[in-house]
Amino acid sequence: MADQFFGITDTGKQRQNNEDAFIAQQQVNSKFVIACVIDGVGGYSGGEVAAALARESILKRLEKPSGEIIPMLVDCFSLANEKILAEKQSVKQHDSMACVATLAIADMERNQFYYAHVGDTRLYLVRDQSLVKISHDQSFVGFLEDSGRLTEDAAMKHPKRNEINKALGFETQLSKNSDYIETGQSPFLPGDMILLCSDGLTDMINKNKILSIITGSGSIKEKCRGLIDAANEAGGKDNVTVVLVQNNKIPARHNATMPEANVNKPELTTTLTTNENQEVLHTKETPVSQTTGNKTLVIVLSLFTLLFLGTTIWQYLNKTQPAQPIAKPTIIIAKVKNDQEIKLQQSVDQLKGHILVLSDSVFRSPIILTQAIRVNADSIVIKAKGNIVFKSDTSNSGIAFSFLPTCKSIVLDSISFSGFKTAIVACNNVLKLKNVRFFNCGVPVQYGHLITSQKFISVTLLPVSFRADSLPIQSK
């Protein structure tokens, strides 16, 4: 796993000690990479001790991994919380110490990563030259920023920026509070990177600067050092810690295959109708005997006789019975796709990368759909620029978007659906909706799971969290 992960921490320009800690290592005899950033809270020595205790507890729990990954990550935080609470009770000087942490496990073989998070350290996903914030800051200012009520620049300068609501060492019954720890998982595709960092980085430099360093040239190690240097050049007011993990597999490229010409394929038929074909058939058969020919003649004459008698009887019956009305055949007219939905389906099928931007200068809104738009990409972000509304055709009350199970990650941003029986159908996908609205849709989202038949299944289906607001979330 050379050049797949690296971590580094720095005291910064204005602090005397470093209360941060990190983990960046491969699990023994495994294809997992453990990445963690811990930021201590509580004074000169307390925060440093809390971060060290948390790091020690996490590594000890992951020495012998067992059970499902996300519950194991939660267990790491619970054990760390217990250690810190015990230290606070035994040492008076440390009674106000705590720490915040973000822990991730990258499964390189299955192209997935899993995470647990408490506080205001951060987890980002880097994909297709974009930086996506995965974790949520558990602070009042973080809530304002995540909900779009504060811009990134305003949040960085807010006087209460570092006041947190949650941390390891705050809660005595952490294992009983299922909402305290933020957890999740996401596809980790070839070419992706995840960044874990303390607020000493994100308080100093913005997302654009971070992205430019990460996506620039150089090794993982050089990029980590570049982030540290940039934070220090901007002032270095706090300890700075970063961990980068990269899935350095080669991204798969699917090239379109041209159909082969029909002349190169053998034509399989069961009936030969032309005279030429009949001649070829006879040349391949063995000669027939005279006796067989006489029998064939007798059979043919008998058939003509029966046909003549049947015709006579049918004509007689038609003269004696009233004519029955002829039933009109049912004509089924296939609905023809309009130009807009043809263009949209082609845009989805021919998308290079993962981000599809729908501009109302290109797609006239509403986009009328007569059939479902089928999406088979590995991951996709569909984002509207302007007002984009998908509306059901009068003859189509079915589905707007159908995401196949092969589509692992889906993000729909700032689009609307109107008049569909089922707006979105997804199965075994990671689905994220941002500023999506539904008008008169019977079922806005239909989500399912594929489960192997006749097997013993063990699974925990986590509750889905919805956030509704009268105003859209502003993009950062």
SS (H, E, C) 289-310: CHHHHHHHHHHHHHHHHHHHHH
pLDDT interval class at 6 (50, 70, 90): very high
Residues forming beta bridges with residue 197, ordered by sequence position: 122, 242
Count of C-beta atoms within a 10 Å radius of residue 273? 8
pLDDT (tens digit per residue) in 333-344: 445 678 888 889
Cβ neighbours for 313, distance < 8 A, ≥ 6 positions apart: none
Q: Determine the Cα–Cα distance for residues 423 and 332; give it in Å rounded to an integer.
A: 26
334, two tokens: 């296939």
Mode of pairing for the β-strands spanning 355-359 and 379-385: parallel
Does the structure show a pLDDT above 80 at 236? yes
pLDDT (tens digit per residue) in 80-118: 999 999 999 898 888 889 999 999 999 988 999 999 999
Tell me which residue of 115, 245, 248, 228 sits closest to 193, measured CA to CA: 245
Residues forming beta bridges with residue 381, ordered by sequence position: 355, 411
φ, ψ (nearest 5 deg) of residue 136: -120, 130
Does the structure show a pLDDT above 80 at 36? yes
Q: 5-246 in CATH: which number? A: 3.60.40.10
Binning the chain into helix, strand and coil, the percentages to the nearest 5 are 30, 25, 45
Using a 10 angstrom Cβ sphere, with 0-12 exposed, 13-18 middle and 19 or more buried, the burial of residue 280 is: exposed
Does the structure show a pLDDT above 90 at 163? no
Q: Determine the Cα–Cα distance for residues 130 and 19; give it in Å rounded to an integer.
A: 30
pLDDT (tens digit per residue) in 172-219: 777 677 678 999 999 999 999 999 999 999 999 999 999 999 999 999
Q: Determine the Cα–Cα distance for residues 230 and 227; give it in Å rounded to an integer.
A: 5
pLDDT (tens digit per residue) in 279-291: 333 333 334 444 4
Q: What is the pLDDT of residue 224?
A: 97
255, two tokens: 């090239």
pLDDT (tens digit per residue) in 123-139: 999 998 999 999 999 88
Q: Contact 165/137 with Cβ under 8 angstroms?
A: no
Tell me which residue of 148, 105, 100 sits closest to 245, measured CA to CA: 105
Q: Contact 190/249 with Cβ under 8 angstroms?
A: yes
pLDDT (tens digit per residue) in 40-61: 987 656 899 999 999 999 999 9
Can you count the helices (H) and strands (E) in the chain?
10, 22
Arithmetic mean of pLDDT over the chain: 81
Q: Which range is least confidently modeled, 34-38, 404-408, 442-446?
A: 404-408
pLDDT (tens digit per residue) in 455-473: 777 766 655 666 677 677 7
pLDDT interval class at 275 (50, 70, 90): very low
Q: What amino acid is encoded at 460 in this protein? A: T
Return the higher-pLDDT residue of 466 and 67. 67
Cβ neighbours for 145, distance < 8 A, ≥ 6 positions apart: 137, 151, 152, 155, 476
226, two tokens: 């570049």
Q: What is the pLDDT of residue 326?
A: 46
DSSP assignment string, 322-342: PPPPPPPPP-PPPPPPPHHHH
- Taking CA 190 as the corner, what is the angle to CA 228 and CA 246, rounded to the nearest 5 degrees? 20
E strands within 227-330?
240-246
Q: Determine the Cα–Cα distance for residues 363 and 348; give it in Å rounded to an integer.
A: 14
> What integer is the mean pLDDT of 20-30?
87
200, two tokens: 């000493």
418, two tokens: 């109107």
Q: Contact 251/210 with Cβ under 8 angstroms?
A: no
At residue 47, the 3 state secondary structure works out as: helix
At residue 218, the 3 state secondary structure works out as: coil
At residue 427, the 3 state secondary structure works out as: strand
Does the structure show a pLDDT above 90 at 353? no
3-state secondary structure 121-152: CEEEEEECCEEEECCCCCEHHHHHHHCCCCCH
